[in-house]
A and B are shown apart, each in its own frame.
Chain A
Amino acid sequence: MEKALQRWFPVFVLPTLAAFIIGFIWPFCQGLYLSFCRFTTINNASWVGIDNYINSFSDASFGDSFWFTVAFAVVSTVLINVLAFAVALALTRSIRGTNVFRTVFFMPNLIGGIVLGYIWQILINCLLSIVGQPLLNLNTPAGYWGMIILMCWQQVGYMMIIYVAGLQNVPPELVEAAQIDGATSWQTLLWVKLPMVMPSITICLFLTITNSFKLFDQNLSLTGGEPAHATEMLALNI
């Protein structure tokens, strides 16, 4: 079959590959080249070697935003996954209204980017002004946690669904066997369920990490890199 399929390369792979080259590989190579240039627009770039890299690494704000991004990625990844897993655990039990809850938790996924950021900017600013704290663009911790809450709000639902899928795949016999052997519910969770959902965990981790490293829209509309670039994340700095 492999042989037969191989000849169909133009039909199956070529369209995607062509678009991929136009949409990603070519611009990426050009972008890579540009990163070694001084330019205002693409047309008048002149080669400067690695000056840009030296500049950005010696620029304090680049280091800051790098660490900010890393800190953000770590915290949000952990939080999202733990929360999603907890919710998934709860929702795989027989609770009245699980379907409704799943629907609700999934919904924020449908709102994205700029709009999401604006909604939360208004919401968080309102909360902050009620408790008399500085607004987002002056308030680094609030900006940071605001972003994290936003990310959680948006992504927990999706990850939860993936975990629910994973948990439903755990054969009930295994859990029962463990319980008969006298395992507490914690032990069952840790030693039976967790290993069984490892594939889900991998994919969730993967999705959340890439998401948090290239977050731009939310950052732009929520904080715009204020205050003083503290919340400006890596993507915005490049």
Chain B
Amino acid sequence: MKKVLALLLAMLLCLGLLAGCGGQDDGGDAGDGDGGEATGSVYYLNFKPEQDEAWQALAAAYTEESGVPVTVVTAASGNYETTLMAEMGKSEAPTLFQVNGPVGLKNWQDYCYDLSGSDIYGQLTSESFGLKGDDGSVAGIAYVVESYGLIVNKTLLSAAGYTVDDIKSFADLKRIAEDITVRSGELGFAAFSSAGMDGSSDWRFKTHLANLPIYFEYQTDGIGSTEAIKGTYLDNYRAIWDLYINNSTCAPAELSAKTGDDSRNEFLAGKAVFFQNGSWEYNNLVGEDKFSDEDLAMIPIYIGVGDEANQGLCTGTENYWCVNKEAPEENIKATLDFMNWCVTSEKGTSAMANDMGFVIPFKNAVESPNLFVKQDNEMTIAGKIPVSWNFPTMPSEEWKNVLGSALTVYAADQSDETWAGVQEAFVANWAAEYQLLNQ
């Protein structure tokens, strides 16, 4: 009997909690609603977990300044689409979300507010940072620009007897890398950190490195996207991949057993001179017990195509802000104001540059402390032409994954037959995947 009593009590307690909190919630909602009518509110579904804290701080700062409530929610890595889908179906849907480019836009086009007349669109340094929908409206706006290339440990490079200035082309890179490999026993380090093909690292090659042959093909053909890639520069892709895997910290067959963390840790431990990655790695590489700015440099990835003397870093974006068209009028307005504030106000721009480490393509941008970003600017000023990001035009995730698998097979057994598999994954599968998604 005692137990029954206890249980009943517990249940009552739960019910009380339920009722109490239900009541409280109702109150809260009503309050939000009242506020909403006056000023609107912002709900931002953020994509990058690393920047979560910085966004929360910035949102709080904005709320304090303007009185507009801003909620920032970060979707867990790999779950953005699922989360967005669920959240969009809810009564308080995100007002601000992001897509990764034309391919991602296809899904969400119906939800994108036309940003063409907005203040923030006018703040862009170049119209090319707007993402155009099928109907010519501006569906998305790039809010961060990133660069990637080969990150160089300058200390190790000079220990091997070279400087960054010695590398001006693929031929130079190959010569130096192979020389380091020959002397690796005596030097105590290898040329490249392991090109891990684990899911945490393979995007560096199946997506970012694959961008180069695609970029040069688009350049040659004068196009910006295609439904069937020709694979004109696949031989160069093979050459650079060979270079990566045969001059690495580990045997090519072991690459499939390496993760992104492994690769970074090798580079941090001074076991490799080159590390292909992007400006987002800056905070992981520089700091206490790590490198200082003087130790590092980022150089373009040369693959032996085009005007290598004037090639810059790979610079672009796959992060576009979109505003939810279905949101209430006042919330759309509040969202547009918030976006504008982020990229124009002093607080907003400095938070984006310093706390998040972003380079934003807007007129009022503050210079970022990020070394790699600074280098990108210097190169652009020196007249080098940045390689644009074309991987948002890759037909699907599936295409990337198939390519990744083929690259791994090739790495374990470098023969023409296995390379034919890579070619197949690159060329034939592009057309097939494009067909499948655009039928």
Contacts and interface: CB of A to CB of B under 8 A. Distances in A.
Find out whether A and B make contact in their complex, taking CB atoms under 8 A apart as touching. yes
B102 to A, nearest CB: 16
Contacts of A197: none
Contacts of B108: 40
A134 B110 contact: no
A132 B89 contact: no
B253 A42 contact: no
Given A41-B89, A137-B199, A129 B398 contact: no
B256 A135 contact: yes
A40 B401 contact: no
A226 interface: yes
A229 B408 contact: no
B401 A229 contact: yes
A237 to B, nearest CB: 12
B198 interface: yes
Interface in B321-349: 326
B111 A40 contact: yes
Give the size category of B's interface with A. 20 to 34
Interface string A38-82: 001111100000000000000101000000000000000000000
B259 interface: yes
B89 A129 contact: no
A129 B107 CA distance: 38
B402 interface: yes
Nearest to A132: B254
B254 A40 contact: no
Interface string A132-165: 1111111100000000000000000000000000
Interface string A79-121: 0000000000000000000000000000000000000000000
Interface in B377-421: 398, 401-402, 404-405, 408, 412
Contact of A227 (B85, B259, B401): B401
B197 interface: yes
B88 interface: yes
Contacts of A215: none
A228 B198 contact: no
Interface string B100-118: 0000000110110000000
Interface of A: 40-44, 59, 61, 125, 128-129, 132-139, 224, 226-229
8 contacts: A40-B107, A43-B89, A133-B256, A134-B197, A134-B257, A135-B259, A137-B199, A228-B402
